[in-house]
Amino acid sequence: MLAVVVDTGLGNITSVHKAVETAAAALSTGIEVVRSADPDLVRRADRIVVPGQGGFRDCARAMSNGLGDAVLEQIRAGTPYLGICLGLQILFDESDEAPGERGFGVLKGRVERLRGGPDVKIPHIGWNQLELVDGGHAHLAAAGGAGTWFYFVHSYHAVAADPGTVVATSGYGENRICSAVAHDNVFATQFHPEKSQRAGLALLRSFLGHSSSTGTGAATG
């Protein structure tokens, strides 16, 4: 099995690649993990991981070529997709962070800035707990389920037009953060599994090895 960590050139690609390699090594299924910006290699992948830490505009522009086309083709074909941070946000239509830039539109909605306050600093950096929505998701259950702590680094979060795509939230001041979304073969987290120690590695192992990663069908967008 080939798992491709899509290299958008943004932020934490190396740490994600190493975490996915560590998770793969713990499984006995012979998973090859590669980091690549090659659209042809993305099209051959059995699992796709799209990380990113930085700005929505940079991510959208990195995807506005053959690389983005290849990722979308794989999503529509039913290939399991894991998005991390910007890899979640780029699934939506647009972001307040970068007016005029378009996301994939696989999930309907927009990305909005978190609300700050006297005791609520933006960006939201640090550990926070998950609250599951409608039972959550198999990957979240494998990582520990409700109440599990994950590491966040972000100033924006997704506001989904379809609340049914949200499988976990977290509280931060007045904010109800969209912490994880899922739709068919697409699963994505606002938090960083690669920074979340044991829980994060358990989630990555579930994504790589879970027999139902493809869900009930392909996301169409």
pLDDT tens, position by position, for the chain (221 residues)? Answer: 999 999 988 877 999 999 999 999 999 778 999 999 999 999 999 999 999 888 899 999 989 889 999 999 999 999 999 999 999 999 999 999 999 999 999 999 999 999 998 889 999 999 999 999 999 999 999 999 999 999 999 999 999 999 999 999 999 999 999 999 999 999 999 999 999 999 999 999 999 997 644 443 456 55
> Residue 215: its pLDDT value, please?
40
> Residue 54: its pLDDT value, please?
83
The Cα 67–Cα 216 span in angstroms is 25
- What does residue 54 show for φ and ψ, rounded to 5 degrees? 155, -140
Radius of gyration for the alpha carbons in the chain, expressed in angstroms and rounded = 16
- 2-209 maps to CATH 3.40.50.620: no
Contact 149, 127 (CB under 8 A): yes
The Cα 127–Cα 104 span in angstroms is 28
Contact 50, 84 (CB under 8 A): yes
Q: Which amino acid is at 177?
A: I
Residue with the two structure tokens 């074909």: 77
> Residue 220: its pLDDT value, please?
55
Positions marked active-site: 85, 192, 194
Edge-first strand listing for the sheet containing 2-6: 32-36, 2-6, 47-50, 81-84, 186-189, 175-183, 166-172, 131-132
Asked if the bond preceding 123 is cis, omega within 30° of 0, the reply is yes
> Residue 211: its pLDDT value, please?
62
> Residue 28: its pLDDT value, please?
75
Residue closest to 43 by CA, chosen among 15, 11, 18, 6: 6
- pTM score over 0.85: yes
The Cα 31–Cα 114 span in angstroms is 37
